[in-house]
Structures are given as C-alpha cells and as structure tokens.
Structure 1
C-alpha cells in the first residue's frame, strides 16, 4: 500500500513544480516599459492563487513622436525674375512711397504704375514657360495682344489720369509719369529694347525738369519723388540690358503661349521647385533593324553598327575606309557636263526658294507684324467730352472746324494725317500728339500749344499765345502774330523747326528763324555753360 501513496505524492509534487515553473516563466516575460515605476511592476505580478496573464505586446511598445509636417516647397525663381522682383521691391516701392506722401492724383497714378509692373512680371514668367507666338499671322498677333492686355490696361489708366486732369496743379507730375511709363513697351521690341526705355526716360525729363524747377529745394518731397521715378526707369534700362539685350527670350521648347496664358489665369504659375530632381529623361529609341541583305560597304557597316566603337574602328582603318566607294569619272559629273542635268533621273523637289537645283535657297526671314495701331485703322472722331474736344484719326481732311468753344475748353488732336483743323474762339490749351503733316489754325489761347511726336506740322495763332512746347518733333513751322511777340517756345529732342516772326524781314514781311539744334557746352569756374553754335558763311 505504501507504493501507491508514494506515486500520488510524486504526482502532486510534479504538478506543484510545474505550477511554480509556469509562474516564474510568466514573471520573466513581463518587461516594464521605459519610465515605469514600482507600482506598475507590482501590478503586473499576479496575486497568490491566481494565474498570471501575459500583457499584450502593444502595451509595452515605445511611444514614437509623430514626424514633423513637411515644409512647403521653396519656389526657385530664375535670375531674371529675381532681379525684376528686386526692382519692384526697391525702386518701384520707393517711388510709390513718395507718391503716397504727395497724395491726390500722384498717389492714384502710382497704384496703376505698380500694377503695370506686376502685369509685366506675369508676362515675363509666361515667356519662360511658353514658345513665342507665331509672327506674321493674325492668330499670333491676337495671342500676343492677349498676353499684353494686362499691361495695356494699366498703361491706359496712367494716361487717362493725365488726360482727364489737365487743369490740375499736379499736371507736370502726372505728365512726367505718363510720358515715361511707355518704357514698359520694351517687351514688344526684338532688337535693342533698352533704347526705348532710355528714350522714354528722356521724354519724362521734359516735364520732370519743370517739377525740379518748381520745387528746387533739395528736401522737398516733389524733388525726391521725381528722382525716384527717374531711378525706376534707370533700373529698368539696366535690367533690360543685362537680361534681354536683344529682346524678350522665349522658351523654344516650352508649351503653347495660349496654354500658358490659360494656366496663369486659372492658377498661380508654377516654376521649378528647389530640392526636387527633374524627371528622368526618356529612354532612347530602340535601334533600327539591321539590313543583312544590303550592300556590305564600310559606310553601311558604320551606320548599322549603332555604337561609337564601330565608328572609331572604321576611322582607324585610314585610307581603306573609302575602298568600297565607287569611282566617278569626269564624264559622269553633272557640274562639268550640263547636258547630264537635263537627263538626270533625280527629281528636283519643288519647294519655296527652289531655282531648279537640288539645293534650295535659304528661307527668307519672317516678316515682322505691324503694331496693332497701324494695322487697324480706327474711325475718325470729333466730339466734346466734358471740357475737352477730342479730334482723332482724321486723314486727308482739309476742312475740320471746331466752333462753339469756351474759355475753359481744351482741344486734343491725336493721330491725324494730311489734315487741317481750325479752332474758332479762345480756348485754354491745344495738344497735338502723334500727328503727321497736320495744320492747326487757332484764334487765341489762354495757356498755350503742346506738340508731341508730330512730324511736318504747321501752327498759326491769329491772336495771343503765351507759350509753345515742342517735344520729340521733326519738321515744323510756327507762325506768330504781332500780339504774340513775347511768346516762349520750349523745345526738347526737336529738329528742323522754324518760327516765322511778323514784320522782321525786308519790306515788313515775316522773317523765318530756325530753332537752334546744335549747342556747345563748356566748363567755366565749375559750371556748365551752354552756347548756341553759329556757323558763319
């Protein structure tokens, strides 16, 4: 009987050992997480009489901080755009700052100037992405006008502020800006666009010098303002010389300009992102099939090899490389036997510029499209808008009469050709702009006459005229009456202008006096002295 009891004790002992072993195994598998205290460890130990449960693995997983949000990509701008942005941030911003100090029309005009530079920046970014519209075609011209429409609208605002406020005391200020802002049209010139910027700066100085004369104190805000506008045009000229010496550079391999314009209108224009690698180039095309049945000349072997090793292998053969070529006798040479050219079996491809030879002439350069102002002739118009008479686009009309005028009326004559205009009564001001061979006869004026960019003109005032201003004109006559012998004539960049003075010639006739064009400048006692050059003969 002792033997069964011993077996039962042994079985009970084994079970107790297995339970203790299982408990020890449970305790050794529990690993406290980093930073846990004794309380968490003791809570993991099972109470006596209970079986330990193994915690899930995720309960002890280390806490990983969330990765930081990626920074927005930095747009890498080309050097030409960066420098244009610098021009806007420095010179243009300083000009706008002084304009806000002056206020009124000057501040209003400066906003249009700032917007015009912003529109030109958009245009320059499009040229980096797109191909140039086809020159010489109507579709290409219309597309280019759409690209420039933003700048044109802002330039029109700048000009309208001047034209609608001629009686303003700030007329010289807004006129200087209006004459200088067409410098932004440099983007339409294909050769030496910096010259147009320089020319427009000279035009702005005509009115800018009046501002300096009126506000001759160095600390005057008007003085600083006009100098800041000069700096804008000087910086623009330097920028064009550096980045667009021979015109705006388009992207030859870019997208269509219409597509780029649509993309810029719907969303901001995207450029290359810094840090991102460009897409890999496409794989090369598969080599063409090798013609095993063709002639086995050395040249055919080189062309069918497809690698540079075969090319150098053939070149290293020396004179034997031409061993497979056929010898041509002199009797078979067409340039020495004209009769062979008539019987040639080779057909001459007909193409533009071909003169019967196999080699055609080089294509002629494409014709430049004319500006829209020359291709589309606007209808003639004469009407009174407020206090200003508008006379424009008349051609070959010798009987244009403006009557029913008043003392505060002004007359603006624009783009007339081969015409004669009579202004009845006394008016305030007459402005003649971009006219060719146009004659104007006026009774009397309060302020004076302005002539801008006109050629072959003739002006006659029957009564009183205080001053005549001539800017960028060539070939003209001014007839002065006896009442206007004290008239003041201002000229700038003008040539071949004569003034007829009454009772100054022989027998009481009018005398013709030429306006000097050549000046001599000398330095005397630190001052620049200018004198008219006289030619004795």
Structure 2
C-alpha cells in the first residue's frame, strides 16, 4: 500500500467507513437490494482503479480517457437497468434511491466543481431515501439505517472530493502514461470490496463500439477541445431537474454554455418499449401508452396499487378504491380517481391533470412541471406535498359548485429569528 498516493488511501478510508456499512445493511435486507449493492460495489471498485491510475499518470488523451472510464460507465448503466427491470419489486424505492444517485461516480469528468455535482445527485435521490426513512421508521430500523448509510457515503464522497480534487480530478504531472499504469494493473490493494467480475463477452470487441452504452461517453469523443473551458451546467441542462432530457443522452447545444463532459449517469437513448396495461399480482402496470384517451380500470380493489410509467397524451379513469397511485416520467397525462387509501404520487412528469372524486389523504408532487389538481368536496382535507416543481394549481369547488383555481407559491422567504430560521411562502401578486 506504500506506493499508493494519499488521495487513494483517503478513498479507501471512505469505503471502509461508509460504503462497507451500506453493503453490510444491503446484505441484511437481502433480495434485490443485496444484488443491487453488489453491482454498486463493482462500480466503486472500478472507480478506485481509475483513481489509482490517475494518481500515477499524466492526463491522457480523450480516447485513452474513454477507455479508462468505460468499465465504470457500463456498470452504472447496468445498475440503472436493474432498477428499470424490477419496477414491481417490493424494494423498488430502494433500487430507485441508488439508481438516481449512482451517477455521482461521474464526478471524475466534471470540472471545475465536482463536489457540488455530487450534492446534486444526493438531491436527485432524496425523494426516494425519504420514502424509505418514513415508510420503515416504525417497521424495520435496518431499512432506515440502510438509507442513512448510503447518504453517508455520498456526503463523504463530496467531502473527499473537496479535499483532494477541489477543481477537478487531479492527475500526476510527473507520472507515466496511463496505458503503462493500466497494463501493470491499476490497483494493488483495495481488499475492502469484492473483486469485480470479468467484463461481459465481447466487451472490448470492435463490434461493440456501436452499442448504445457508448453514448454515455459520446461527448468525450469529439476532439481535444472537449476538456477546455468546462464549467457547471445550468439547471435546464441537468437530467434530474429537466425530465425532458431523460429520453436522450445528448444535452442541447447553447452558444454561450459549455456542455458538461460525459455524464456517467446520463440515461441511455432507448427505443420505446411495447405498451402495457395489466394487473401483476396486486399492482396495475400501465406503461408506454401513447394517445390513449379511454384507459379505464374497472372495479379496482383497496389492496391494489397503480403504477403509471412513461405514458404520453393519455387519460386514465380509476373506478373504485385503491391503496395508492404513482405516475412517473409521463407527459400530457390526465387521471381521474375515486377513493385512495394512502397516497397519489406524481414524479418527474410534465403537464399533468388530476381529479379526485372521493377521499384522498395525500398527494405528493416531485419534480413536476405544470400540474393541475381538482379536488371534490370529499377531498378538501387532502395534504399536498410538493418539491422541485413549478406551475402547480389546485382547483376547489365554491358554494355554487364552480371550481376556483388557487396557485401554489413557488418562492420561499427565510429569515433569522434569533433562535433559528423561519421560512414562509411568498405569495405571488
């Protein structure tokens, strides 16, 4: 271990103090959470190997850099794919918390502010980690400790970057070529994590270059000017703040804003999957529907939940009392529902309309643009919880039965009271 730089040793300490706790708790929960954590462990090992290489070598050219980063990129894609393929799993929220924030490992391509980039990934996953903390608070402490352990790793990673790579990944100006380090084996230590499995068959084949996973690094492969003048991108160019970018790995060009270097967590461009409308166990799965204005669930039952995913320009009517409804990554989507046992959630969507005909305890709105909610007389006691959303309007009936629209404030004002901070909504004129 004596030939390792101080920055690599500090990274090993980070893994020992925080990541191993997350891996241990994941193993205790078991099932898909354990499988997912094993994949995370491999991705972090790849990152450690990359950091060892960087500490011993001069900064390489773009094509070499792409090859060095490719194992991490592929592993991140597999982690996110695992979540998408297991949307009906009982621990889907756990998988989502990891998938939304695993792009934090892409900090090595961000300059000059990699630390704040990791913080953005923490914010992107907070909706799901909060759900774990709330759902299991009184049920199973293992799950709440699991969520805290993962957040601890991410915050520790941010602190590590601030100390050793403040303005971007640090290379060794007196080092050797990166290919020489790689050929000798980049990592001699790292017993904290299990060794990564061999790459999939054909990983280094020429034919695999056209694989859609290579789109993750397309921005790096545009010439020597790619690493010049990089700076933090604006909010509208960040995929976790702008849902419309999640269907493509390409950020639109702007003449005055430099594009972010290869975002390891960018969503891969995929062909739309076939539409689905079916009951799987106790979950209604409604996915990839386009232009369907007459979707109806008849005689829904109280122990059933409804998951709407990637639907566009559709209208869904739910007849009966259901446990919960979740609408995710949808656009121009309208839904009418009767009675809800727990919650109706809207996530990462645009132009949503919802109408409650009966009782609904809670409606949550997270990262949604343009949201209209119509409450009936039986749903006026509903709690609406919103975050990172805009254009929220709630209509309620007046004494004559006509709906009156009420916009929800989007601005907050915070002042120091002498004992703490007080935050109030700022009403629009």
TM-score for both structures, normalised by structure 2 = 0.64
Aligned to 2:270: 376
2:29 paired residue among 93, 98, 104: 104
Using the alignment, how far apart are the partners of 1:402 and 1:214 within structure 2? 27
- Does the residue aligned with 1:85 lie in a helix, a strand or coil? helix
In structure 1, list runs of 5 or more residues that go unmatched.
1-73, 274-362
- Does the residue aligned with 1:472 lie in a helix, a strand or coil? strand
- Equivalent residue runs for 1:167-182 within 5 Å: 174=94, 177-178=97-98, 181-182=101-102
Aligned to 1:234: 155
1:467 CA drift (Å): 1.0
Aligned to 1:113: 37
List per-residue Cα deviations over 1:244-298 (Å, max 9, x = no partner): 7457989995449xxx7xx8xxxx934589xxxxxxxxxxxxxxxxxxxxxxxxx
1:144 CA drift (Å): 7.0
Pair 1:463-2:387 in alignment: no
> Is the 1:190–1:248 Cα contact (8 Å) retained in structure 2?
no
Aligned to 2:208: none
- Equivalent residue runs for 1:11-410 within 5 Å: 76-97=3-24, 103-104=28-29, 109=33, 112-113=36-37, 115-123=39-47, 125-126=49-50, 128=53, 132-133=62-63, 147-157=72-82, 163-165=88-90, 174=94, 177-178=97-98, 181-184=101-104, 186=106, 190-191=110-111, 192-206=113-127, 208-209=129-130, 226-241=147-162, 242-243=164-165, 245-246=167-168, 254-255=178-179, 269-270=185-186, 370=250, 373=267, 375-384=269-278, 385-403=280-298, 405-410=300-305
More strand by proportion, 1 or 2?
2
Pair 1:530-2:423 in alignment: yes
- Does the residue aligned with 1:473 lie in a helix, a strand or coil? strand
> Is the 1:396–1:419 Cα contact (8 Å) retained in structure 2?
yes
Greater relative contact order, per chain length (Cα 8 Å cut-off, separation 6+):
2
Using the alignment, how far apart are the partners of 1:144 and 1:272 within structure 2? 19
Using the alignment, how far apart are the partners of 2:393 and 2:360 within structure 1? 17
- Does the residue aligned with 2:90 lie in a helix, a strand or coil? coil
Q: Measured at CA, do residues 480 and 409 of structure 1 come closer, stay the same or move farther in structure 2, by a change above 3 Å? A: same
Pair 1:441-2:336 in alignment: yes
How many pairs were matched up?
349
Q: Measured at CA, do residues 408 and 520 of structure 1 come closer, stay the same or move farther in structure 2, by a change above 3 Å? A: same
> Is the 1:176–1:205 Cα contact (8 Å) retained in structure 2?
no
1:116 CA drift (Å): 0.4
List per-residue Cα deviations over 1:67-112 (Å, max 9, x = no partner): xxxxxxx573344433332211111223445667xx436x962663
List per-residue Cα deviations over 1:295-344 (Å, max 9, x = no partner): xxxxxxxxxxxxxxxxxxxxxxxxxxxxxxxxxxxxxxxxxxxxxxxxxx
> Is the 1:473–1:495 Cα contact (8 Å) retained in structure 2?
yes
Using the alignment, how far apart are the partners of 1:403 and 1:216 within structure 2? 34
Using the alignment, how far apart are the partners of 1:529 and 1:500 within structure 2? 28
- Does the residue aligned with 1:441 lie in a helix, a strand or coil? strand
1:415 CA drift (Å): 2.5
- Does the residue aligned with 2:339 lie in a helix, a strand or coil? strand
Using the alignment, how far apart are the partners of 2:6 and 2:277 within structure 1? 49
- Equivalent residue runs for 1:509-528 within 5 Å: 509-524=402-417, 526-528=419-421
1:383 CA drift (Å): 3.8
List per-residue Cα deviations over 1:375-395 (Å, max 9, x = no partner): 332223214333223233334
